[in-house]
Amino acid sequence: MRGVLLAALCLFACAAQGAPLPAGTANVSYTVWTVSGSSVLLKFLLPTSVAQSLTGAEVPVLTTRKLGDYILQHVEVEAAGRPCPAVDQGYDLGKVDPLAVGADMYGFEILFRCAGGTASGLVLHNHAVFALSPGHIDFARIERDGRAVEQLFTAGGQRLAVGVQMSPAPFGSYVRLGIMHLAFALDRLCFLLGSLLLVRGRRQAGYAFVALVAGYAASLLVAASGWVVPRPALLEAFMGFMVALLAALITLRELQRPRVASFGCPVLLAGLALVTALTHAHWAALALFGGAVFAGSLLLEASDGGRPSWLLPLGVVGFLDGFALPAALAPLNLPTRPQLWMTVGFDVGAVLLAALVMSVPLGVYAVMRTRVSRLNPRALVNELAAACLGGLGTFWLVSRLYA
Amino acid sequence: MNMATPEIDAEPARGRLAALLAYRPQRSALLPSIGIAAGLLIAAAGVFHRAPPDRGTVPAGYAALVNQKGILTSDLIAQSVAELGKPFADVTSAERARVLHEMIDEELLVQRALVLDLPETTTEVREAMTGGVNAQVAAPLLAEQPTDEQLRAYYDAHRAKYTADGSMNVRDLVLHIGGYENADQSMAQARIDATEAVYQLRSGAAADYVMEHFGFSDSGRMKFGNEPDFAAKLHLGPTLYPAATRLTEGQVSDPVADTDGLHVLIMQQRRMPTIADFAAARSAVYADYREDVAKAAQRENVKILRGQAQIILAPGESE
């Protein structure tokens, strides 16, 4: 019965696939508000993917200038209850100055002048993108008198009051962000739900959750050190691989010939790595080759049964997902301390939702098992769930790898 | 590892294969664990990369870091020497600090200019950049001093460039056709009159007499008297100037038809263009040679750039 429930949830998650972005945090923008005397200088950074998603909406983003005009229409500054107009920056620039910020980003600068100064009643407004994408997040950095704080603009909070004593966004807002991130990340949800099919009893469920938390904790340590940063596209592709690997693990338990899965899965991955290497995507090929070795060894180990190796993918997924926020924050070049603070909050939120996602189906199963104890079409359900997860995982892996 | 032998003796081939695939030897977790760790490490090498170094200290050879971009000590030395006009050993620490301050300001402005995308938006910056690239491309070739043989060969190939301009003082008489005073005169009649006038002029008749007798007037094109050839060319126009260049001092041209009538040119004074010899023109030859070398290098560079570039023209456009 538990299998039926989980398969239904997996199928529901699969059916909901269609979100334009692989993870919730990819739908972000960045603003830096520099308050100085009577002026506020806004630097707006918009990832190309988000700008392109605007194109399909009502906003006709045909050129950088039009995108700049769109931004100008959706940001405001007011001081002491009076609006601060955007200043014409001379030459033929107009009020929006386009910036050169790299190929994967659009950048604009707008200067607001507050006639009465910015000492009191300074309020920043950002309404860009939210109407078109309610899940959009704007990471804001507000600089004033040599101090800087990090804030968030969300669909529910498009207005920020800035006092003389600036305060950063509360810890809870990042917890909420982590929850939202996981709630809209279908690959993660599929993985978490699918992993429950491997759980045998309450104790193992606890182990699974601990493995996930350990993964998040490890990523926090690595991210805080600043030694390595992820390649976002490959990280998301690897997340797809983990879903497919989970499907192989589930299948392995049902197979009479586990060697087929133990060798088939890594051989397929090695083939994909070879094809990828031929396309000169060397880092992707390396990741796939590593994935093949990992999958082969893990499946071989898991085929024996009784060993806790099945917990490892949970740790890996936690580790990879722990880099979601640091990767999203990279364009802001934040100092280590505030970034760590934000990431801790984000990870706590993700872990809380993961706990909910993992515990609710198990709880419902526990309740239902007492009532319909004879219904347990386990093998069929596992096969169905594994097929869904395998298909989706492979789709995510390949589509993100060659995006 | 403890390996067990599968029992496959009495089974048919299909059954043996099935048994082989289902075979689970008892083995230690060591090898799979090593495989798992190695796989994860290899995958991590692909998925992650080293973070760009965030330097907190200035590396050796640099005087400062401005937004992680270095200002070389050698540049500071060169700038100090150029700006203060004295050897670096004599530069005081205060002067050195001032120069470094200026260089940091300059670096900040350059970085700001790049963020504002000035190379794409500002004409002056684009001109400076194209000039800089052209100069850089030409520099290695210009560093090589040309030999006299090379210069002489260049001079021989471009001898016309080293011609000293001549001058002329030519009197331009015009016989207007179809004017109010001679409304019935045809072109043929005018040509007969002009030919007769030329004959008389060549026979020694005075120009004023001929003008009065045949109805010629001064065209006014050569009112400044003796003029350099380029000025005479400008004033006489493309029809009369070639005829004038064929005349020597004292000669009279045949009648030449132009838009305003028939012209007769009387060359009063003529200094023919002269070709400067190599020794006299050497400095000009040297400058022209270097200019041509630089232009050739720049053309070659643009040719390479075009070969590497993807240029797509809009329909109807051409270059």
pLDDT tens digits for range A219-228: 999 988 878 8
Same domain, B107 and B127: no
Interface membership of B4 toward A (CB under 8 Å) = no
pLDDT tens digits for range A275-315: 888 887 889 899 999 999 998 888 888 876 666 788 999 99
Q: Which of A72-76, A201-205, A352-356 has the lowest mean pLDDT?
A: A201-205
Same domain, B141 and B196: no
B residues 224-283 lying closer than 8 A (beta carbon) to A:
none
Same domain, B144 and B289: yes
Whether residue A383 has pLDDT greater than 50:
yes
How confident is the prediction for chain A on average, in pLDDT? Answer: 83
Interface membership of B32 toward A (CB under 8 Å) = yes
Same domain, B265 and B171: yes
Query: Structural domain tally of chain B?
Result: 3
Amino acid letter, residue B147: T
- Looking at the predicted complex, does its ipTM rise above 0.85? no
pLDDT given for residue B318 in this prediction: 86
**Cβ distance of A260 and B45 shorter than 8 Å:** no
Residue A13 — very low, low, confident or very high, per pLDDT cuts 50/70/90? very low
Interface membership of B29 toward A (CB under 8 Å) = yes
Distance of residue B299 Cα from the nearest chain A Cα, in angstroms: 29
Residue A20 — very low, low, confident or very high, per pLDDT cuts 50/70/90? very low
Cα dist from B63 to A207, B103, B144, whole Å? 55, 10, 33
- At a CB cut-off of 8 Å and minimum separation 6, what does A40 contact? A33, A34, A77, A84, A111, A112, A114, A118, A122, A124
Same domain, B109 and B258: no
Which residues of B fall within a CB distance of 8 Å from A256? 22
Residue range B173-186: mean pLDDT, rounded: 73
Residue A259 — very low, low, confident or very high, per pLDDT cuts 50/70/90? low
Same domain, B303 and B266: no
Distance of residue B31 Cα from the nearest chain A Cα, in angstroms: 8
pLDDT given for residue B153 in this prediction: 93
Residue B318 lies in a domain: no
Residue range A111-131: mean pLDDT, rounded: 90
**Host H or E run for residue A398:** helix A378-401
Amino acid letter, residue B230: F
Domain that includes residue B213, residue range: 166-272
Helix (H, G, I), strand (E, B), or coil: what is residue B165? coil
Encoded tokens for A208: 């699974």
Residue A345 — very low, low, confident or very high, per pLDDT cuts 50/70/90? very high
pLDDT given for residue A92 in this prediction: 65
A residues 291-320 lying closer than 8 A (beta carbon) to B:
291-298, 300-301, 303-304, 307, 309, 312, 316, 320
Encoded tokens for B229: 């050839």
**Cβ distance of B29 and A100 shorter than 8 Å:** no
Give me the residue from B43, B54, B117 closest to A290, CB to CB.
B43
pLDDT given for residue B7 in this prediction: 47
Interface membership of A112 toward B (CB under 8 Å) = no
pLDDT given for residue B214 in this prediction: 87
Same domain, B109 and B127: no
Residue B158 lies in a domain: yes
Say if CB B212 and CB B181 are below 8 A apart: no
Encoded tokens for B247: 């005349």
Residue range B161-171: mean pLDDT, rounded: 87
Same domain, B121 and B111: no
**Cβ distance of B43 and A287 shorter than 8 Å:** yes
Q: Which of A6-15, B43-52, B92-101 has the lowest mean pLDDT?
A: A6-15
pLDDT tens digits for range B246-300: 999 899 999 999 988 899 999 999 988 888 888 888 999 999 999 999 999 999 9
Dihedral (Cα; B77, B78, B83, B86), 10-degree rounding: 70
Whether residue B183 has pLDDT greater than 70:
no
Residue A12 — very low, low, confident or very high, per pLDDT cuts 50/70/90? very low
Residue B27 lies in a domain: no
Residue with tokens 């998040």: A216
Whether residue A51 has pLDDT greater than 90:
no
Residue range B149-171: mean pLDDT, rounded: 89
How confident is the prediction for chain B on average, in pLDDT? Answer: 86
Q: What's the CA angle centered on B83, arms B82 and B88, to 5 degrees?
A: 65
Residue B220 lies in a domain: yes
pTM listed for this prediction: 0.68
Cα–Cα distance for residue pair B293/A330, rounded to 1 Å: 48
Distance of residue A101 Cα from the nearest chain B Cα, in angstroms: 7
Whether residue B136 has pLDDT greater than 70:
yes
Whether residue A375 has pLDDT greater than 60:
no
Residue B6 lies in a domain: no
- At a CB cut-off of 8 Å and minimum separation 6, what does B278 contact? B151, B152, B155, B285
Which residues of A fall within a CB distance of 8 Å from B35? 293-294, 296-298, 300
Amino acid letter, residue A166: M
Residue range B215-244: mean pLDDT, rounded: 90
Residue range B104-117: mean pLDDT, rounded: 91
Give me the residue from A99, A234, A303 closest to B115, CB to CB.
A99
Give the mutation candidate from B17, B48, B54, B69 for the A interface (greatest A CB count, under 10 A): B48
pLDDT given for residue A256 in this prediction: 62
b/e per residue, A174-197, with b = 16+ CB within 10 A?
A: bbbbbbbbbbbbbbbbbbbbbbbb
Interface membership of A212 toward B (CB under 8 Å) = no
pLDDT given for residue A387 in this prediction: 84
Same domain, B247 and B202: yes
* β strands within chain B, DSSP E: 48-50, 62-66, 69-72, 163-164, 167-175, 217-218, 227-228, 256-258, 261-271, 274-275
Per-residue DSSP letter, A86 = B
pLDDT given for residue A37 in this prediction: 85
Which residues, in sequence order, are bridge partners of residue A98?
A: A108
**Cβ distance of B36 and A298 shorter than 8 Å:** yes
Residue B29 lies in a domain: no
Cα–Cα distance for residue pair A185/A179, rounded to 1 Å: 10
pLDDT given for residue A198 in this prediction: 86
Give the mutation candidate from B17, B47, B110 for the A interface (greatest A CB count, under 10 A): B47
Residue range B98-108: mean pLDDT, rounded: 95
Interface membership of A103 toward B (CB under 8 Å) = no
pLDDT given for residue A373 in this prediction: 58
Most confident of A57-61, A333-337, A374-378, B195-199: B195-199
pLDDT tens digits for range B189-218: 888 889 999 999 999 999 899 888 888 889
Same domain, B198 and B257: yes
pLDDT given for residue A150 in this prediction: 93
Residue B37 lies in a domain: no
Interface membership of B1 toward A (CB under 8 Å) = no
pLDDT given for residue B22 in this prediction: 59
**Cβ distance of A304 and B115 shorter than 8 Å:** no
Same domain, B90 and B121: no
DSSP per position, B72-105: EHHHHHHHHHHHH-S-GGG--HHHHHHHHHHHHH
pLDDT tens digits for range A198-211: 888 888 889 999 99
pLDDT given for residue B133 in this prediction: 94
CATH code at B193?
3.10.50.40
Whether residue A264 has pLDDT greater than 50:
yes
Residue A2 — very low, low, confident or very high, per pLDDT cuts 50/70/90? very low
Residue range A97-115: mean pLDDT, rounded: 88
Encoded tokens for A193: 């739900």
pLDDT given for residue A374 in this prediction: 57
Same domain, B170 and B265: yes
**Cβ distance of B32 and A295 shorter than 8 Å:** no
Which residues of B fall within a CB distance of 8 Å from A293? 35, 38-39, 42-43
Residue B187 lies in a domain: yes
Cα–Cα distance for residue pair B6/A276, rounded to 1 Å: 39
Among A127, A43, A128, A38, which residue's Cα sits nearest to residue A84?
Answer: A38
Cα dist from B185 to A383, B69, B178, B196, B199, whole Å? 113, 85, 6, 15, 20
